[in-house]
Amino acid sequence: MSQHRSGQMKAFFRQWQVQSMVIPGIVWMFVFCYIPMFWLIIAFMDYSIAKPMLQSPLVGLKHFEDFAADDRFWRSIRNTLGMSAIKLALGFPIPILFALLLNEIRSLRFKRAVQTISYLPHFIAWTIFGGILLNWLGEGGVMNQLMMALGIQDREILYNSDPQYFWWIVYFSDVLKETGWSAIIYIAAIAGIDPALYEAAELDGANRWQRMWHITIQCIRPTIAILFILAVSGMLGSNFEQIFMLKNNMNMRMAESLDLYIYNMGLVSGRHSFSTAVLFARSVVALGLLLLANYTSKKLSGESIF
Amino acid sequence: MESRGRFRRVGLFEVGNTLLMLAVCFITLYPMWFVFINSLNAPERALLGTINWFPEAWSLDSYRVVFNDKNLMNGFYITTLRTVIGTAAHVLFTAIVAYGMSRSNLIGRKFYMRIALITMLFSGGLIPTFLLMTKLGLYDNFWVFVIPGMYTFFNMVIFMSFFRTIPESLEESAKVDGASDYGVLFRIVLPNSMAVIATISLFSAVYHWNDYYQGVIYIRTQDLLPLQTMLYKIIAENSMSFMQQQAMAQFGARLPGNSIKFASMMVATLPILAFYPFIQRYLVKGVMIGAIKG
């Protein structure tokens, strides 16, 4: 046994070069991933940044009870779920639709040009994209001019200051920015379908819509299922860069998502332990959601990520 | 398909679909065009924010203010610096770790992989990470842009699977010639991995160029703020940098904030727009590799 171990040690040191490539990576992971995970335990303490963590008093579930009693927490849950539900119900099918329609374009060059242009917005920073949006939705902006010219509204509306529009601004800006990019994966899946299937269907007299439904959709179903599982399990998250850019004091009532609540409570108000408790609870629920979505998908379509 | 299509009747669907695709292109491109023309528009015109196609009166005044703004130019410098250093550090570090991990004779490989996988499933999140950065002295420090972003599991896996496709005979013959593992990596493996290096570098560079959020959270000192974080403050918080306030006072209402905003946005996004036509195919390739692995 000891001889075996010393043999292994020798082998380990003989390959010190390869080991010295990997070990810095492991150390990095330990510092930047494992220490923050370990630090989640301050959710059960009254942590103050001035003192070493282990000297902070344990308070059990106090912070969990506190946030459960906070109306603003429940408001942030409502906002997160509301925005996610809109994105999921009305946003999820759009890249699929776009990929299907793009696939029907016959000119290869036009198809490629449209595709290239469609994912440009993904690479534009949220500061720029949000800046344009805020300008368009503001006083005298493009949106107001358009609506007034069309006779839909007769006076200016400050879209971004009125909370009732916020969820929709988030939804539409997300569609505008990410549709082309999200479609790539479906376009690739469609490109992988055997052309013989279409030829056979055409001989059988299937029209365009029947081919789309019975062949294209059926063939990319695994891709759809997996992306759907991921979308559902991400429902408690939000696009922080987007919301942080579009929020302001006037629309905060509808804009404060769970992410933003954690940020506001933890980094703006400095309640580190309290915010970490919210983070902790969210991770647990998100893991549950992932397992649930995975299970449901496995039962319904046979597709799952694990 | 192609040749048969030419003889087919062009139906209503084709026309409608083509028009729809053109509309998609228009909706995608017009916002950038809007910023471009309004940054060049005479400031009093840009104030109106009307829908237009071309600048009504050409003027470079807004750009003059932007390029004379010491703060914004410093932001440009910080952004460039973090993009170059951040990307180089990420690619080098992740590739070296990935090469080690790709060796099948690596002792403890399973154990290392398990450690790496767990970081995919669980994470500490915003507050613990913030506290860690503070304790490490990375708060309000330029290196906060570089060190925490040096490695991602996702890119490590992409590198690793690419390295596995390189024929072992190449590495064997180098070893026979007396090359060390580092020699093989830098002289054989990396030069043969240029495609994947280009893709990952581009993704990393675009991330570093566009990110404003790290600057909002971790940076207090004005001199360390990246350009995008400054833009965030100008646009979302409506704060003007000192030079801009001076310019406003000097030009009065003739140079309103709007056109300066557009000009700064243009400066901040021009590198992306200028390189986009050349790099977009690498970016798509990157997503495809990722999709197959994931």
DSSP string computed for B119-181 = HHH----HHHHHHHHHHTT-TT-GGGGTGGGS--HHHHHHHHHHHHTS-HHHHHHHHHTT--H
Lowest model confidence (mean pLDDT) among A257-271, B83-97, B263-277: B263-277
Residues within 8 A of B (CB atoms), A 112-131 only: 113-114, 116-121, 123-131
Could you tell me if B243 lies within 8 Å of chain A, comparing CB atoms?
Answer: no
- Per-residue pLDDT for chain A (306 aa), expressed as one digit of tens each? 566 778 888 888 888 999 999 999 999 999 999 999 999 999 999 998 888 888 888 999 999 999 999 999 999 999 999 999 999 999 999 999 999 999 999 898 999 999 999 989 999 999 999 999 988 888 778 888 888 888 888 888 888 888 999 999 999 999 999 999 999 989 989 988 988 988 898 888 888 888 888 899 999 998 898 898 888 888 888 899 999 999 988 899 999 999 999 999 999 999 999 999 999 999 899 888 888 888 888 887 777 777
What is the reported pLDDT for B253? 47
DSSP string computed for A136-194 = HHSTT-HHHHHHHHTTS-SS---TTTSGGGHHHHHHHHHHHHHHHHHHHHHHHHHHTS-
CB atoms within 10 A of CB B20: 15
Q: Is the pLDDT higher at B2 or at B181?
A: B181
Residue in A closest to B107 by C-alpha = A12
pTM value > 0.90: no
The shortest CB-CB distance from B269 to any of A36, A125, A141 is to A125
A to B CB pairs, distance under 8 Å: 246
Q: What is the ipTM of this complex?
A: 0.88
Contact indicator for B84, B294 with CB cutoff of 8 Å = no
The phi, psi pair for B288, rounded to 5°, reads -65, -45
Nearest CA distance, A85 vs chain B (angstrom): 23
Q: How far apart are CA A253 and CA A256, in angstroms?
A: 6
Q: How far apart are CA A210 and CA B226, in angstroms?
A: 52
* Residue B41, strand partner residues: B58
| Secondary structure class of A37 (helix, strand, coil) | helix
CB atoms within 10 A of CB B282: 16
Are B112 and A26 inside 8 Å of each other by CB? yes
Residue in A closest to B23 by C-alpha = A114
Which distant-in-sequence residues (6+ apart) come within 8 Å of A60 by Cβ? A44
Are A135 and B103 inside 8 Å of each other by CB? no
Q: Is the pLDDT higher at A59 or at B291?
A: A59
Nearest CA distance, A93 vs chain B (angstrom): 16
Are A40 and B128 inside 8 Å of each other by CB? yes
Lowest model confidence (mean pLDDT) among B79-93, B221-235, B266-280: B266-280
Residue in B closest to A223 by C-alpha = B291
Nearest CA distance, B150 vs chain A (angstrom): 9
The shortest CB-CB distance from A21 to any of B17, B99, B127 is to B99
Are B28 and A180 inside 8 Å of each other by CB? yes
Residues within 8 A of B (CB atoms), A 151-180 only: 176, 180
* Residue A58, strand partner residues: A45
The shortest CB-CB distance from A128 to any of B51, B213, B269 is to B269
Write out the two tokens for A53.
């963590």
